[in-house]
Structure 1
Amino acid sequence: MADEPEGWRVVVIAVVLPVAQPVIEAIRAMGHDVVGWVLARRPHTRDQPPPPWGEPSDKSAPRGLNLIMARDKADLAGLLRGLEADVALCFGFPWKIPQEALDVPRYGIVNQHPAPLPRYRGPIPMSWALREGDDEFFITWHRMDADLDTGPILAQTTVPILDEDNSVWEMGPKMIEATVSLIPEVFEKLAAGDPGEPQATEGATWAGFFDEDYAKIDWSRPRREIHNQVRAWHLAFDSGPVRGPIGQVDGKRVKVNRTSLTDPGDGSQAVDAADGKIWILESEPA
């Protein structure tokens, strides 16, 4: 970039391990220096388990990178000053970042949000896209401001949702690839002083945690709605005390973790829905 021939000092603010690693690699490949990876301490309970890919650690961090565990959001501004950050990239971070921290990097803090902003602002946007029956996910990089997921948009792309995408292991790699593909565009716009495209004032929705009503499976509904419900809950693994989706299968109360709209041919149990069968690939007692 013309105004930074020696590269920028970049800080990554994230707790999503599978995304952080390729993002860091992409930034380094562009000639910038990733000077720190800032994490947030998140307590987990029986009802709020750790993410399926595990927690970041010194073993998972790329070599030669400072891995910093922030105690509180009030510490973020001081950490960014200490790291002399030119810009920070944020994604999957559980805290609202204070304005004091947003003001530290000279190019600001940019957030990745997997949603067609202003729709699905909030903590579980991909789950809400599935719940609403969308046929594609969005990846949006936007400038961060004082509110949640409301800043001007710098770059955006889409990822198709396939019927066979029934777990984070199918959906995740495509989302990561799309996220990384936009980073050069984001950095070019930051270097050019592009303020980004303001979000529309209409059509905003909130992708909040699911409630108990959506945690119950009604087998009399269309099978695609049930499939989407199961997938939505699978991605909402960190959604508070409510667990779901729960259904009755052969007189037993089970938590359904993965389903399929086609017969996998492995003896998986089929259940009759309103318009056909749906196969349970993975479940556990509830």
Structure 2
Amino acid sequence: MADAPEYLYELWNSDGLGTWKILRHPIEKKTACRIFFTYPGGRRAAVSRQRLEAAGVIHHGTARRRLHLTPPDIPGPGTASESAPTREDQIAELLRAGATYRDVERQLGAAWAEARQVRVDRAIPFPPGRAKRFRAELDAADQAAARMLLAGASVEDIYTETRCSLTRIAALRRELGSRVPARPRPRRAVDEVLALYTRATADGGHQQWTGPRRGRTKVLIQGRTQRFNVRHLTFERAHGRPPTGRVRSTCGLTDCITGTHLADAVIRGTAPATATATATATERTSS
């Protein structure tokens, strides 16, 4: 007698308005680590067996589809979602309102693949103005993009106006020999950047760096070319002298940049005697 078929179950809001259905995805094979199954349409996929059997539910793929080991309970009539509203519901609402994948990424932080999967799963059509274009329309868009490039328009403006992809805009720029126009970039003062990228801990005893970094070094960027090591900067402000050797935190918090919580080679006692004497003299002079 053949074994009864097994399924993974997915709760699906079929119309986005609370009409729930349970989708069954046939399980093809189970191994010690994975469960292999098939989505509607024949697309094969796999999930972690240990995680699914431990929790009874798992999220799969960039669209974060919620798969259950046993049939889930169907919410009551009019219920918008399992924990209203879900991320997929928010994406679907934006797509139905005519938002682009770029708009969805900006507002919800969702990847384009995730938004595309929601569009496919919920059969959300493209707005009339963004349907697939014919060759004549693509040629006209290329001509408009070329004119805008020669006029010095930004890539963002060209994309918004013509819907040419960023790759296509770059190719047109190479064909035209058009250079990227120089645009002034705003420069912040050091104290402004420190305020922007520094966050106080809950107890208020530490200042954590949340800004750009290069490797393990905390880097404070001002303008386009000037760079300052944040730890060196806060150390010098606290101790009245430039640091000697590496600067490390002494409070146990890796990202702490509080000047009094930092120690250089002189404070740690690992610097040469001449460097220690120079640093001590500098501290006395500054104080």
TM over 0.5: no
TM-score (norm 1): 0.22
Higher Cα radius of gyration: 2
* Structure with the higher strand share, 1 or 2: 1
Greater RCO, CA 8 A, separation 6+: 1
* Structure with the higher helix share, 1 or 2: 2
